[in-house]
Amino acid sequence: GAGVSQSPSNKVTEKGKDVELRCDPISGHTALYWYRQSLGQGLEFLIYFQGNSAPDKSGLPSDRFSAERTGGSVSTLTIQRTQQEDSAVYLCASTQGAYGYTFGSGTRLTVV
């Protein structure tokens, strides 16, 4: 596609439920990132995929968070047993080279 697509755009879930957030990067982009933007906070790095290399999971805040990238393309971020502090906008970005990212519009997650 022309840009990075994320779905859903909005998700409201009950505390304790699992959620899956999807990112469809730009075709051919080998690098994919997940960031989290909480109210009043900057962008918090979560996880990074680069080609076939093992992902950098150093930013995942707890073991309730996981992500996978299938076939080097679509990525899914899964949050298990959601908590209210998980409420944020989750942004996905992809890039081909070393410089500038293309971001999706994000998924706004609200845990009630």
Residue numbers at the binding site for another protein (CB under 8 A): 4, 6, 31, 33, 35, 41-43, 45, 48, 50, 56, 91, 93, 95, 98-106
Min CB(42)–another protein separation in Å: 4
Min CB(81)–another protein separation in Å: 27
Sequence-separated (6 or more) residues with CB below 8 Å from residue 97: none
Q: Which is nearer to another protein, 1 or 100 (CB)?
A: 100
Instruction: Say whether 86 sits in a helix, a strand or coil.
Output: helix
Min CB(85)–another protein separation in Å: 18
Q: Which is nearer to another protein, 37 or 80 (CB)?
A: 37
**For the chain, counts of helices (H) and of strands (E):** 0, 10
Contact 105, 53 (CB under 8 A): no
Instruction: State the pairing for strand pair 10-13/107-111.
Output: parallel
Q: Can you say whether the dihedral through the CA atoms of 17, 108, 75, 92 is positive or negative? A: negative
Min CB(10)–another protein separation in Å: 10
Q: Which is nearer to another protein, 20 or 44 (CB)?
A: 44
Give CA 47 to chain center in angstroms.
8
Q: Which is nearer to another protein, 98 or 112 (CB)?
A: 98
